[in-house]
Each structure stands twice: as structure tokens, then as C-alpha cells.
């Protein structure tokens, strides 16, 4: 089998603990080069990938490596756009960590570069690949809970995620590097799940953000409501000051509902919203434990099926695929959530037309 040749930019937490260990277990891909601006991280990259060529900048990597198929971007968000656009212009497919970019202007430039250079741009939307999230998806598709009318997604953390200690471990709280706080860091995972569960992109957002820790210039809590066609809605609450690490998701349908609390899933079937509290004659509540490794922030086990989708997009010449459009929409929601929060939670319209790609 001819192996796809890839290079990684940013040998930090997610690439070191998540992407590269997953690549190393695959027989269809080979990581031949790594670029990192931090010398200590380059040393560690050399140890992890002794055969790979190691560079101190993505520019040198792109100028030197002549036989690459794709570039995997795992740097902080502030540099995603310039690295992705350069790689796409070099004729490489690009896998990019979330958030796609800190602004819609950057994200737009990335999608346009994918279109113009006819190369795939694909986001790391790995939460879709968590086993318990797949169960939610399958239950909705089965029709057992009826039509989904609302969802809630809560992500609780007791701190911001830390980057590797050799570089700038607290970059997520520094606006210039991250582009925002928890909404920028975690919002994408929440928002792309709502698109799938509610079956469309949202049309409006209203939000409120808080900065309980005044040491940093980014928010540590965000509460927002997204409106979907037909008046459906998603409520999401993200916190870095919650005193716990946990995800709690609920899905409300016309005939039943789903509750997920980390690995615990509870599916209620046969409880139509027009019926009695007791449910219909054949109502039931199914409780399951689906090991999903939520506590492992590298989410390496979720990587393979996500990477398979990237390969499928490459095989289908799906340059500005639905996942990258969702990724763009996540950036727009984050940007407009900040604008809404700054204006007393004013309702902001979202534009899901992608007219700039037409």
C-alpha cells in the first residue's frame, strides 16, 4: 500500500499525545516531517519520530519537503490561517485543529484557499467520534425519540486546558494567541454537535460571557442560545471555573429524550410530549455505560474515524466539504457570541449561506 506522506506543524500536547500516536498505529500514513518553533519540543519530536525531518518553522518545512501529501496543523489558533493558506498554495491537503481560526476573516481566507487550490481543508472535529456521541447520533437517526426540538450542552472544567510546559502553557488565556477564552477553545466541539443533532445550521445567537479570573484577558464562562429553523434551539454552557470535569448533554425529542453524563447514557422512549407523565404503554428508559475516555484530553481513540473522513474528502475531491463549512460556522458563532455579550446579549443573525464560496 502506498502510504500518504504527512507533516505536522506544532509538536505540542494534541499532536504529541493524540495525532502522532494515532498516525503511528495506521499503515496508510507516514509522518515524514515536523515543524515546531520551540527547541525543547523539537528535541522531543526527534525522539518520538526518529526517522522524521525536524524543522524550526513551517516555512522551511514547506520550502524543503517536496513529496508531501498533507499538513496537519496543531499550533494555537492565531497561526492556523497563515500556515493553512501557505500549505494549500503548496498543493497540500490540510487537516487543522479546532478552532479553525480566531476570526471569520481568517477562516474565510482558508476556505477560499482550499477552493482555489483544489485541496481539501478538514477540521479536527473529534467529539463527533466519541462513542457516547455516536450513540446519541444513532438514537436520533433511528427516529425513536421523534423529532429533536431542543438540545442542551454543558461542558464543565475546573481550569483552562494547559499546553505543553516547554512552550507557553497558558496560551489559551492570552487573547493574542488564542483569539478568546473558553468559547474559542471549546465552543467548536459544542456547536458542531448541535448542527448534527438539530439537522441544520443555526440562524441566530445570543450570548453572555463572564471572566471570573481577572488575571487573564479572556472569558472563562460562556452561556449562549442558538436558534434553528422552525424555532428549535440549543442552549450551551461552557465553564473553566466549574470545580469539576464533565460533559452533560440532553436531547429533547417529540417522543422521548436522551441524557448523557460523561459515559452514562439514559434514553427515554415512548414519552410523547402530548402524553401523560407516565408515558405510553410501551415506554421504557434504557440506561447504558459507554466508555468514551472523556478524561483523556488527547482523545487519541477518537482520531482514527475522524482521519478516515479526511481521507474520504481527499478521495472525493471534497475541498470545501460540509465539515469545514461547519467549522467556519463555529467561528462565526464564537465571533458573534462575543459581539452579543458585549452588547447586553443582543440577538445576532448568523449567515450560513457560504456565498463567498459561490
Ligand X SMILES: NC(=O)c1ccc[n+]([C@@H]2O[C@H](COP(=O)([O-])OP(=O)(O)OC[C@H]3O[C@@H](n4cnc5c(N)ncnc54)[C@H](O)[C@@H]3O)[C@@H](O)[C@H]2O)c1
Alpha carbon of 246 to those of 26, 83, 154, 242: distances in Å? 30, 33, 8, 9
Does residue 35 belong to the site contacting ligand X (CB under 6 A)? yes
Does residue 10 belong to the site contacting ligand X (CB under 6 A)? yes
Give the residue, chosen from 65, 69, 72, 79, that forms a contact with ligand X under the rule CB under 6 A: 79
For residue 305, give the H/E element and its range. Answer: helix 303-315
Does residue 36 belong to the site contacting ligand X (CB under 6 A)? yes
Does residue 19 belong to the site contacting ligand X (CB under 6 A)? no
Comparing CB distances to ligand X, the nearer of 179 and 256 is: 179
Residue by residue, DSSP assigns 160-208 as PPP--TTS-TTGGG-HHHHSSSHHHHHHHHHHHHHHHHHTS--SEEEEE
Does residue 8 belong to the site contacting ligand X (CB under 6 A)? no
Residue nearest to ligand X (CB): 12
Give the residue, chosen from 8, 68, 71, 75, that forms a contact with ligand X under the rule CB under 6 A: 75
Does residue 163 belong to the site contacting ligand X (CB under 6 A)? yes
Compute the distance between CA of residue 106 and CA of residue 334 in angstroms, rounded to an integer.
13
**Other CB atoms within 10 Å distance of the CB of residue 63:** 12
How many Å from the N-terminal Cα to the C-terminal Cα in the chain? 37
CB of 45 to ligand X, least distance (A): 9
The three three-digit cell numbers of residue 92, written as one number: 497540500
Buried b / exposed e along 326-343 (16+ C-beta atoms within 10 A): bbbbbbbbbbbbbebbee
Compute the distance between CA of residue 207 and CA of residue 253 in angstroms, rounded to an integer.
24
CB of 162 to ligand X, least distance (A): 8
Grid-cell match 422512549, residue found: 269
Does residue 98 belong to the site contacting ligand X (CB under 6 A)? yes
Does residue 74 belong to the site contacting ligand X (CB under 6 A)? yes
112 to 141: interface string for ligand X, x by CB under 6 A: ------------x-x---------------
Give the residue, chosen from 6, 7, 11, 145, that forms a contact with ligand X under the rule CB under 6 A: 11
260, 249 Cβ separation under 8 angstroms: yes
Comparing CB distances to ligand X, the nearer of 92 and 124 is: 124
Comparing CB distances to ligand X, the nearer of 79 and 262 is: 79
Compute the distance between CA of residue 126 and CA of residue 189 in angstroms, rounded to an integer.
8
Per CB under 6 A, which region of 12-20, 226-234, 249-257, 268-276 contacts ligand X?
12-20
**Number of chain positions touching ligand X (CB under 6 A):** 28
Give the residue, chosen from 76, 179, 180, 257, that forms a contact with ligand X under the rule CB under 6 A: 76
Please report which residue ranges of 10-130 form alpha helices under DSSP H. Answer: 13, 20-24, 39-48, 58-64, 80-89, 104-117
Comparing CB distances to ligand X, the nearer of 37 and 112 is: 37
Does residue 157 belong to the site contacting ligand X (CB under 6 A)? no
Binding site for ligand X (CB under 6 A): 9-14, 35-38, 41, 58, 74-77, 79, 97-98, 124, 126, 163-164, 167, 171, 185, 297, 299
Amino acid at each position: 500500500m502506498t502510504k500518504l506522506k504527512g507533516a505536522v506543524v506544532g509538536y505540542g500536547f494534541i499532536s504529541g499525545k493524540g495525532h502522532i500516536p494515532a498516525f503511528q498505529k495506521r499503515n496508510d500514513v507516514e509522518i515524514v516531517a515536523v515543524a515546531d518553533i520551540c527547541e525543547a519540543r523539537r528535541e522531543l519530536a526527534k525522539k518520538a519520530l526518529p526517522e522524521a525531518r525536524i524543522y524550526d518553522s513551517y516555512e522551511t518545512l514547506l520550502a524543503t519537503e517536496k513529496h508531501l501529501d498533507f499538513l496537519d496543523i496543531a499550533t494555537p489558533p492565531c497561526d492556523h490561517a497563515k500556515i493553512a493558506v501557505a500549505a494549500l498554495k503548496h498543493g497540500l491537503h490540510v487537516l487543522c485543529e479546532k478552532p479553525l481560526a480566531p476570526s471569520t476573516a481568517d477562516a474565510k481566507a482558508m476556505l477560499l484557499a482550499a477552493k482555489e487550490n483544489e485541496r481539501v481543508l478538514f477540521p479536527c472535529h473529534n467529539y463527533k467520534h466519541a462513542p457516547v456521541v455516536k450513540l446519541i447520533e444513532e438514537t436520533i437517526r433511528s427516529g425513536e425519540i421523534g423529532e429533536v426540538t431542543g438540545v442542551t450542552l454543558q461542558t464543565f472544567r475546573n481550569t483552562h486546558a494547559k499546553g505543553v510546559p516547554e512552550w507557553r502553557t497558558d496560551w489559551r488565556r492570552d487573547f493574542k494567541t488564542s483569539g478568546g477564552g473558553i468559547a474559542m477553545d471549546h465552543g467548536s466541539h459544542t456547536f458542531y454537535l448541535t448542527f448534527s443533532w438539530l439537522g441544520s445550521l443555526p440562524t441566530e445567537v445570543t450570548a453572555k460571557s463572564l471572566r471570573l479570573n481577572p488575571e487573564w484577558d479572556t472569558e472563562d464562562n460562556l452561556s449562549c442560545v442558538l436558534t434553528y429553523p422552525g424555532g428549535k434551539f440549543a442552549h450551551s454552557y461552557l465553564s473553566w471555573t466549574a470545580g469539576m470535569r464533565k460533559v452533560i448533554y440532553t436531547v429533547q425529542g417529540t417522543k422521548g429524550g436522551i441524557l448523557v453524563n460523561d459515559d452514562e447514557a439514559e434514553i427515554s422512549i415512548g414519552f410523547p410530549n402530548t402524553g401523560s407523565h407516565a408515558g405510553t404503554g410501551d415506554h421504557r428508559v434504557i440506561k447504558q455505560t459507554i466508555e468514551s475516555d472523556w478524561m483523556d484530553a488527547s482523545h487519541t481513540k477518537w482520531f482514527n474515524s475522524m482521519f478516515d473522513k479526511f481521507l474520504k474528502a481527499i478521495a472525493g475531491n471534497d475541498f470545501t466539504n460540509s465539515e469545514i463549512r461547519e467549522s467556519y460556522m463555529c467561528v462565526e458563532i464564537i465571533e458573534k457570541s462575543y459581539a452579543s455579550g458585549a452588547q447586553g446579549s443582543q440577538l445576532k443573525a448568523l449567515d450560513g449561506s457560504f456565498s463567498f464560496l459561490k
